[in-house]
A and B are shown apart, each in its own frame.
Chain A
């Protein structure tokens, strides 16, 4: 790919965005999932993006993609940074199930699902976590039992973003409980409109409902719903989680976030502060924010020069989450007693953002899991020799199950 063609592409993207996309406003950054009412508008925007040749940049042309390289993908991301593209509903599908189907799906699955995803006609969600299977997602107990040619799905999923407006989901289910836990899982495509699928909003600590619980009660799955091989779903899950981490790790914190150095130092300057240590804390926040962003840039440069970032996406993910936690502490110092009670909207914006920070250190693999990954796959430290890898799943305890 020549530099000139990337430059041409960048110019084309810049012109199209200026013409068609809404600019980012401060309020966009921390709002949760898009409301149901927005979905029609999002589908329309995604279709325009597709028609203009900016959807699925690195996906093969036979499945509706543009067949371009990471260089164009990165160029588009940079050009789009100051815009609030109304395509949040497609973020998960295009970032996780999409690439997984591209890598492991059958020819029929690719032709059936990928173009529709890119054109914004069908929205996807990802159904992995369960009440008793979070970090240890391979302990999942949702089951799929063979029934004639197809399968019957039963169980509960949790923390599912976008389930309320999704058409399809990529779901992990146990298909053989008599073998060790990683060996008895299969990934399926599930029709979210099928009988027996129930979606309920899940209220989190901030009072918002950005996620859902999803219940499956005797949901029938056809034989061709399997993604990859039967009982080889863990491999598919690993492919998808890797895509998730790259997705989250490279997002970066916008300058307009209420917890950015820029916002908090303006707030401190405007309201003054009684705390003499705040100045130094703000400087430290600047250092951390800047280094996290520079590390993201370094990873992107390495990827463009053909070096596999490997598990270092986990470094970006962990560093980003820890930055959020640190920024919340600095925010508390800046706000002073207003943390306890305030009638200022500005203060509440900061507080709600701070309260939402644990989300980033839990979602997409907790900080603890990221540290395992960095220790094992970046530094090469040995894995924890747990018993769970060799014991048949039906002899293991999961979640908060009692011992007796």
Chain B
């Protein structure tokens, strides 16, 4: 098991990078901010044409079956470019369905997700709960990824003594979806209220599937965070080479240089942990939960640090609306809070380490 990228992975990374540079530069995010669109439909088509929503879906359901490591590489590029897309949402929905194992649901939903035409989202990662009563669901979950654009919601709900996963048609009566003003302009988030909404109970071990979705969220978010953190630090290092103060480039001052070196060191460690988690997802399922947790903790708070340092080291210009630093800072803060903040992550890792003995 090697941590370094294979040649195929490097080539795939380069093609995603090209699409991001050509079709979704940071100016695209600013266009979306003014138009109020959650993401650019053409960009999503391009990413779907590259196969991004299909990477972890089995071939029998129309997927590319390329694996989680390739997915992680792609998410890193989208993270670096702050590309707005429903990829995280559909990936978590697909991963949950695959783990759950309900064959009917897989045949019904996975091909649409793989082609990029069906937006499905897992109603988890924020606060709130739902409960089932017969075939109807009640509760409130918030914030939920891309709920406003989704046609299918996957809702974990208390059902009798346990938990079950329900497929809910987003357009059904009793489903109320309210878009929320999101801190991160590249994320579309909404509140989902269920008032006796009809749901189809899916078969399989829902608790295990939801647990796996958390691990997958850790891997996916860590992938985006590692990509974005590098983008922040490289942007700041470039600026430190050209911005002059007191007759020298500011990057020659240790106050600037050491801060960047420190953050870069943290980034190198986080990236190594991420590569381990991505490989574990494909090759060592037993070690995946722990590895994904390590990767997420290694990068999550550090990315916030790096984004704040990006503003700070750019000085006044970094605090302006026209500069991109605040886009990363908002992304970093939002990423750090979704699917388990710092304390929750550390407690979850402790539980995983203790269970292992």
Contacts and interface: CB of A to CB of B under 8 A. Distances in A.
Interface string B280-314: 00000000000000100110000000000000000
B269 A295 contact: yes
Interface stretch (A12-20, A68-76, A148-156, A285-293): A285-293
Interface stretch (A123-131, A171-179, A366-374): A366-374
B251 A375 contact: yes
Interface in A256-297: 265, 279-280, 282-284, 286-288, 290-292, 294-295, 297
Contacts of B260: 375, 379, 381
Given A280-B347, A385-B248, A371 B269 contact: no
B275 A319 contact: no
A371 B240 contact: no
Query: Which among B260, B264, B265, B353 has the greatest number of chain A C-beta atoms within 10 A?
Result: B265
B343 A382 contact: no
Contacts of A36: none
B251 A298 contact: no
Contacts of B347: 279-280, 283
Binding site of B, secondary structure by majority: helix, strand, loop or mixed? helix
Nearest to A279: B350
B49 interface: no
B254 interface: yes
B128 to A, nearest CB: 25
Contacts of B276: 290, 294
- Most chain A beta-carbon neighbours within 10 Å: one of B253, B258, B261, B297: B261
Contacts of A297: 3, 272
Contacts of B346: 279-280, 283-284
A337 B176 CA distance: 55
A298 B251 CA distance: 28
Looking at A282, A305, A372, A382, the one whose CB has the most chain B CB atoms below 10 A away is A382
Contacts of B261: 318, 370-372, 374-375, 378-379
A334 interface: no
B257 A287 contact: no
Interface string B256-268: 1110111011001
Contacts of B248: 382, 385
Nearest to B257: A375
Q: Chain A: interface secondary structure? A: helix
A376 interface: yes
A315 B265 contact: yes
B171 interface: no
Nearest to B291: A290
B269 A379 contact: no
B258 A368 contact: yes
Interface residues of A, number: 39
A383 B251 CA distance: 8
A380 interface: yes
Contacts of B297: 283-284, 287
Contacts of B262: 371
A381 B2 contact: no
B249 interface: yes
A287 B349 contact: yes
9 contacts: A280-B346, A283-B349, A291-B294, A294-B3, A298-B275, A368-B258, A371-B258, A371-B261, A381-B252
Interface of B: 2-4, 233, 237, 240-241, 248-249, 251-254, 256-258, 260-262, 264-265, 268-273, 275-276, 294, 297-298, 343, 346-347, 349-350, 353
Given A294-B269, A372-B261, 4 more contacts: A290-B273, A294-B276, A318-B265, A385-B252
